[in-house]
Amino acid sequence: MKALRVHEGLVAPMDRANVDTDLIIPKQFLKSIKRSGFGPNLFDALRYLDEGQPGQDCSDRPLNPEFPLNFPRYEGASVLLCRENFGCGSSREHAPWALEDYGFRSVIAPSFADIFYNNCFKNGVLPVVLPEAQVVELFAALYAQEGYRITVDLEQQEVLLSDGRRWSFPVEEYRRQCLLEGLDEIGVTLKSESTIRAYENGLRSRSPWLFSSEVGA
């Protein structure tokens, strides 16, 4: 998992409330569990004018000219600005996979669905909760200024605006530390690999029968 400490990037809008995980990555793409290759199908039903299928080459598909991610001004965006209850619906982990694979490192919204919020941290995407009034202000600035960029600072738990203002956001310390170090639960466990190995070796010495390959030994 990619670590995130301080990220500065171009902001793109997802200006609708209650965006569910099926809209983020439609159900037909859930057969793969590779965690990669989902970026071209992020918001598939909104980005394209036809229905996408797994394994399909998206380079020649007709684009929806009214969808913001297809606008040249948002090309290369790595921060997604959203409305309330982003990531609701089913608990598919493919949703943050698709966001990360597309290139988004942070998603900002007034609120997130709980499971989606947790899954983001496990997959290198930082979900930032800001008060609705601040999100409204960000949308206004984003639309008014082409190439609008902000900095998301996980170390200080702040969003740094282009005018110098700093807005703080809450993050549970365990999640914060894991993302700072680029660790999911398996990575956290492997930090104690030497302790685990020492315990297993000691258990093998004390209770060798537990490790015997002979049935009934």
In a domain, 84, yes or no: yes
In a domain, 81, yes or no: yes
Residues 6+ apart with CB under 8 A from 22: 89, 90, 92
The whole-number pLDDT of residue 210 equals 75
Residue 167, token pair as written in the block = 């807005």
Q: Are residues 213 and 179 in the same domain?
A: no
State the CATH number of the domain containing residue 173: 3.20.19.10
Q: Are residues 130 and 210 in the same domain?
A: no
Q: Are residues 122 and 217 in the same domain?
A: no
In a domain, 1, yes or no: no
Q: What is the chain's pLDDT, residue by residue, as a tens digit (217 residues)?
A: 899 999 999 999 999 999 999 999 999 999 888 888 999 999 999 999 999 999 999 999 999 999 999 999 999 999 999 999 999 999 889 999 999 999 999 999 999 999 999 999 999 999 999 999 999 999 999 999 999 999 999 999 999 998 999 999 999 999 999 999 998 766 656 565 677 777 777 777 888 877 776 444 4
Count of structural domains, the chain:
2
Q: Are residues 44 and 107 in the same domain?
A: yes
Q: Which domain holds residue 199?
A: 184-217
Q: Are residues 131 and 196 in the same domain?
A: no
The whole-number pLDDT of residue 215 equals 45
Q: Are residues 86 and 146 in the same domain?
A: yes
Q: Are residues 100 and 194 in the same domain?
A: no
